[in-house]
Structure 1
Amino acid sequence: MSQQILQIHPKDNVRAALQDLPAGITVAGITAIRDVPAKHKLTSEFIPKNGPVIMYGVLVGLANEDLPPGELVTTKNIRHASGSFTVKEERHTGWERPDVSRWENRTFMGYHRQDGRVGTGNYWVIVPMVFCENRNVQTLHNVLVKELGYAKPNDYEAMLRGLLRETAGGQQAPPLKTRTFTNIDGIKLLSHTLGCGGTKEDARTLCGLLAGYITHPNVAGATVLSLGCQNAQLAMLREEIEKRVPGFDRPVICLEQQQIGTEKDLMEQALRRTFDGLAKANEQQRSPAPLSKLIIGMECGGSDGFSGISANPAVGRVADIITALGGSVILSEFPELCGVEQELSDRCVNTMLADRYTQLMREYAARAEAVGSGFDSNPSAGNIRDGLITDAIKSAGAAKKGGSSPVTDVIDYPGRVTQPGLTLLCTPGSDVESTTAEVGAGANIVLFTTGLGTPTGNPVTPVLKLSTNTKLANKMNDIIDLDTGSIISGEESIGEVAARIMEMVIDTASGAYTVKAQVLEQDDFIPWKRGVSL
């Protein structure tokens, strides 16, 4: 029989149920008082009212009542709580480097950029400076995708084509166009609802994010349409591009409608110049690159009670492998780091970074509290239903995605990753906002763990979806790329699953594997308007 309950850390006074436990069953000396669903937790010892609930070795809640051993932990009998944190002079930067001999001489086939970074894809992006231009960029995108052979058939289109054949007396529908530019992986749209109103800080932040995408190693070039009178000006965008990559050399076509005149004139210029830019960008080809050129964003969404046991520790091991190879890793979602602040602060390579991290966490928490909320509001209904009872429980498991290496940098949104090793990036816990920010910071691969299933993707960076449990992988196999549920069943170790993830990362970075989110054209792009988003 496979393991039924798990003690994650020696200090824990609760256990995670790996299987459904019926009331009355005794496992490892603990008798369940009532039914305990898989993914949920039960107490392993008596916890008095207001006593600490410990999981992953940290405070994750306080008891609302006396809890005997074997009690199911619920939102009614415990409440969110997390430990205090401060910046200490002593640094805890020692870590056990994984054996990377299997990968140290491996390469991936990528697109080399003049700034030294390497792309895992070669995309052209079409960007509005303001929402007023969304219709124009959508029209431009539709024409280019259709006429240059990037339109993908899907089941619904096949159904419609069948209906058209029936109404046409069995005649064949016109064939799909072949791709004109074989070295351009796609033409992607970055539409949004910002750019006009809001504060000057909003405009600067938006320009910073857009600059992060335009200068991204996966982007071959960009077409930018501006109305002209909005706060987010083209000059501001150019400043942000220069800040990120001085002397940026890839083509950026900027057109302003109020300066050019009619929509027809604007679109004709956009179409003609974009076509010329695509032809030039098509000359770029993949060539070998060391794995140190990988920048991996670690993300989770639709998390469950297994996330911190299977998928997150597995990608955390990958994070350590990438770091040991000289690559870069991004850990974000600051509301989901609540309760592990002290550990992450201690892992910063110097007190300056520790100060920056703790200040960002405190400012974020204060903004949430100022509008009558807090990090304790972060867990969704699905999180709670599947075992993540408090934000601190969710956070302690979510932090496992970052592995165990030292923190080499801390950056605020919408900053860019410039250091090898583990970077902490301030973003919301919201899946798409955070993924959007990680890619804007330079992630050329994103590892996304999910226990409940979410179709999140990104326009320019492959998002590999990892299920925490096999049931989900089987049920939603159209969105899941790799299953880590074998850790829960005991069939594989965390290290074995991490090795499988590494191989998939290399194949994806080389263009040999297309992630499910790309197959589904799940091109999610949501800028974080710097307010309270959990």
Structure 2
Amino acid sequence: MRSILRIHPADDLIVALQPLKAGHTYQLDHEAWSLPGDIGAKQKFAARNFAAGDRVTMYGVTVGRTTQAIAAGALVHTHNLKHDSDAFGGKQQEIAWSTPDVSRWKSRTFAGYKRPTGRAGSANYWVVIPLVFCENRNLNFMREALQTELGYKKTGPYQQFARQLAAMHQKGVSKSELEALAASIDETSTSKPLFPHVDGVKFLEHGLGCGGTRQDAEALCALLAGYIAHPNVAGATVLSLGCQHAQVSLLEKALADHHPHFAKPLHIFEQQKSASERDMMSRAIKTTFLGMAEANDLRREPCPISDLIVGVECGGSDGFSGISANPAIGHTADLLVALGGTAALSEFPELCGIEQELSNRCVTATLADRFVHLMRAYQRAAEACGSGFDANPSPGNIRDGLITDAIKSAGAAKKGGTSPVTDVLDYPEPITKPGLALVCTPGNDVESTTALAGAGCTVMLFSTGLGTPTGNPICPTLKISTNTELALRMGDVIDYDAGPIITGKKTVEQAGEEMLELTIATASGEYTPKAVALGQDDFLPWKRGVSL
């Protein structure tokens, strides 16, 4: 296995692929470094002598400036490096794309659900949506009634475990016997659903809809419209109180503006116009039941790969993210784009420092200008609140080698591959064009995945180096580990291990091709992602303040 790596020929930071020992000499090509101290795996050391204030390069871009002199071979971390990034401004050059060979997938299809208009879905859900948090109580009543009686309610392993503990306690068993029971947790289980061709009824509980700004209400309604019109959704039930900012009229306008060809069952119930709560709830439950019965008549059919919209995401990132999982996901995105499909790259705070490359990849100067405008507006909003993109890396990111936002961003952007940028979308606009779309979202994992699904993504590829169980209610989410140790330790949430790229057992291209196959299997219902099996239905709308 390789010990060290220089990612780009211009880099003056070297990545430790495994723990490095003080006093040992490590060689790369025609250079060698004797290390004055131990360097942990995923960390970086200086490839040359730095003076205080020097520019530091990784992934071929500026990722920081030194705060003190650093000797060649010494650890580079937060004690001697601060965030900095390159200036940017619109499209400055054309970039030729080397289209990957996709001949082996040209005749491939996936087994999806064809919709009256638009692209095919990878799943078949019914959604129940509150327009305001005041309806969450009624939403939960519907969830308990429908998921239980229709066979979708999961009996969780911890519920079973608690039941066992209670039964043993009532029998008077000893504390040591109770402690010994900890290893007997069973897997999550469900009963057979009444509607086997409906993947589930999902309840999008949230805390918005009133008390915020008009912009908040409009953004929420546009996001919810995206879920209602989503290719993976057969129909929707909406609960409204009546007096909230997020009015039914705003939802209807968002559907008309963003999804003008919408043609699915949509049932709206307003409590303040109903005879009673019981009246509204009985009608909502009955109508939802009948809608699901109709949706159960749908069957999977062969659909073109070009119908797929794959969102790329990262969370719990580490020092290997930009070397293994993210570039492999990027290659999957390139393959998909070459097949006429769509990939969506989000998390704008995690594109800091790579803006010029992305601007140059935009197919028009107008798109590049829009991307620059959105990035600068986001940064200004963060700074107005006393923050900035430099505050994005989490303690876990920093501990595992992502010591500046520019380092984190340069690695995160690898998920977008190398294809041309064909669209730039503000939150919560829908994806309508094939190719690579840049979607403005926060770096917050769940706010971003929520937005990607709302934009229309039908499958998500989510890389993680530290481990995160994040999923989405309607968009199957595949978890890609950056390292094998994580895949082994958290195998209950990881779907694919990109760790062999670090050890040299696989290439980025090989892993990307395997992930495309896994994506097709997931979209066809042949593979169930761990997040789906665990019922990881994370849904968090972005309230357009500052979120990094």
Shorter-chain-normalised TM-score: which range? Answer: over 0.9
Instruction: Give the C-alpha shift of residue 30 in structure 1.
Output: 1.2
Could you tell me which residue of structure 2 aligns to residue 392 of structure 1? 406
Match of 1:111 among 110, 113, 118: 113
Q: 2:143 — aligned with what?
A: 141
Return the letter of the residue paired with 2:110: F
One-letter identity of the residue aligned with 1:369: E
Matched, 1:56 2:59: yes
How far apart are residue 176 of structure 1 and its match? 6.8
CA RMSD of aligned residues (A): 1.5
* Residue in structure 1 matching 2:196, options 160, 182, 190: 182
The Cα of 1:153 is off from its aligned counterpart by: 2.5
Retained in 2: the 8 A contact 1:215–1:248?
A: yes
More moved, 23-32 vs 339-348:
23-32
The alpha-carbon deviation at position 165 of structure 1 amounts to 7.6
Q: Larger deviation: 65-74 or 444-453?
A: 65-74
Per-residue CA shift, 1:296-355, capped at 9, x if unaligned?
000000000000000000000001000000000000000000000000011100100000
Q: Quick one: distance in 2 between partners of 1:273 and 1:303? A: 43
Tell me the secondary structure at the aligned position of residue 239 of structure 2.
strand
Determine if contact 1:320/1:404 at 8 Å carries over to the other structure: yes
Q: 1:185 to 1:88 in 2, by over 3 A?
A: closer
- For each residue in 1:171-213, what CA deviation from the matched residue of structure 2 results, as whole angstroms up to 9, or x when unmatched? xxxx975311111001101010000111111110000000000
Give 2:279's aligned residue: 265
2:118·2:231 contact (CA, 8 Å) conserved in 1? Answer: no
**Structure 2 residues without counterparts, runs of 5 or longer:** 172-188
Distance 2:208 2:190 in 1: 35
| 2:488 corresponds to 1:474 | yes
Give how far 1:159 is off: 3.0
Q: Which residue type is aligned with residue 68 of structure 2?
A: E
Counterpart position of 2:132 = 130
Query: In the alignment, what sits opposite 1:172?
Result: none
The one-letter code sitting in structure 2 at the alignment partner of 1:87 is G
Residue 391 of structure 1 aligns with an amino acid whose one-letter code is D
What amino acid sits opposite 1:18 in the alignment?
A: L
Structural mapping, 1:372-521, within 5 Å: 372-521=386-535
Instruction: Identify the residue that residue 80 of structure 1 maps to in structure 2.
Output: 83
- Asked whether the equivalents of residues 296 and 443 of structure 1 are also in contact (C-alpha less than 8 Å), the reply is yes
Distance 1:212 1:176 in 2: 29
Q: Rate the CA distance shift 1:177–1:504 in 2: closer, same or farther, 3 A.
A: closer
Aligned length in residues? 527
Name the residue aligned to 2:6. 7
1:206 paired residue number: 220
Deviates more, 1:82-91 or 1:26-35: 82-91
**CA separation in 2, counterparts of 1:110 and 1:128?**
28
Take 2:106 and 2:87, find their aligned partners in 1: how far apart are those partners? 40
Counterpart Cα distance in 1 of 2:52 and 2:167: 70
* TM-score of the two chains, using structure 2 as the length reference: 0.94
Report the alpha carbon displacement of residue 31 of structure 1 after superposing the two structures with TM.
1.4
Aligned to 2:460, what secondary structure does the other structure show? strand
CA contact (8 A) 1:215 1:244 kept: no
TM-score by length of 1: 0.97
Query: What is the CA–CA distance in structure 1 between the aligned matches of 2:461 and 2:261, rounded to whole Å?
Result: 31
Per-residue displacement from partner, 1:117-147 (whole Å, max 9, x unpaired)? 1100000111000000000011101110000
| C-alpha distance in structure 1 between counterparts of 2:227 and 2:537, whole Å | 13
**Partner Cα distance (2:369, 2:514) in 1:** 37
Partner of 1:16: 15
Between 65-74 and 390-399, the greater mean CA deviation after superposition: 65-74
> Is 1:525 the equivalent of 2:539?
yes
Which residue number corresponds to residue 34 of structure 1?
Answer: 37
Q: Deviations over 1:53-84 (max 9, x none)?
A: 10000000001111111010110101100010
Distance 1:289 1:309 in 2: 33
Shift of 1:157: 3.3
CA separation of 1:176/1:107 partners in 2, compared to 1, >3 Å: closer, same or farther? closer
1:167 CA drift (Å): 10
Residue 133 of structure 2 contacts residue 207 of structure 2 at CA under 8 Å; is this kept in 1? yes
* One-letter code aligned to 1:375: F
Give the Cα–Cα distance (whole angstroms) in 2 for the partners of residues 345 and 155 of structure 1.
48
Offset from partner CA, 1:412-461 (integer Å, 9 cap, x none):
00010011000000000000000000000000000000000011000001
Q: In terms of mean alpha carbon deviation, does 334-343 or 39-48 score higher?
A: 39-48
Counterparts of 2:262 and 2:36, CA distance in 1: 64
CA–CA distance in structure 2, aligned partners of residues 521 and 319 of structure 1: 26
* Distance (whole Å) between structure 1 residues aligned to residue 133 and residue 514 of structure 2: 42
- In structure 2, what is the Cα distance between the partners aligned to 1:524 and 1:156? 19
Whether the 8 Å CA contact 2:117–2:261 is kept in 1: the answer is no
Distance 2:385 2:377 in 1: 13
User: For residues 284 and 501 of structure 1, what CA distance do their matches in structure 2 show?
Assistant: 27
User: Which residue pairs with 2:93 in the alignment?
Assistant: 90
Cα drift, residue 503 of structure 1:
1.2
Q: Which structure 1 segments of 5+ residues have no match? A: 170-174
Tell me if structure 1 keeps the 8 A contact 2:91–2:362. no
Letter in 2 for 1:153: T
Match for 1:274: what amino acid? T
Secondary structure of the corresponding residue to residue 292 of structure 1 = helix
- In 2, Cα distance between the equivalents of 1:388 and 1:177? 44
Letter in 1 for 2:7: I
Letter in 2 for 1:7: R
For the residue of structure 1 that corresponds to 2:462, the secondary structure is strand
Q: Is the 8 A contact 1:47 1:67 kept in 2?
A: yes
Query: 1:266-293: CA deviations, max 9, x gaps?
Result: 1111011111111111111100111111
Q: Residues 176 and 461 from structure 1, CA distance in 2 versus in 1: closer, same or farther, beyond 3 angstroms?
A: closer
**Distance in 1, Cα, partners of 2:167 & 2:37:** 59
Shift of the 126–38 alpha-carbon distance from structure 1 to 2, 3 Å rule, reads same
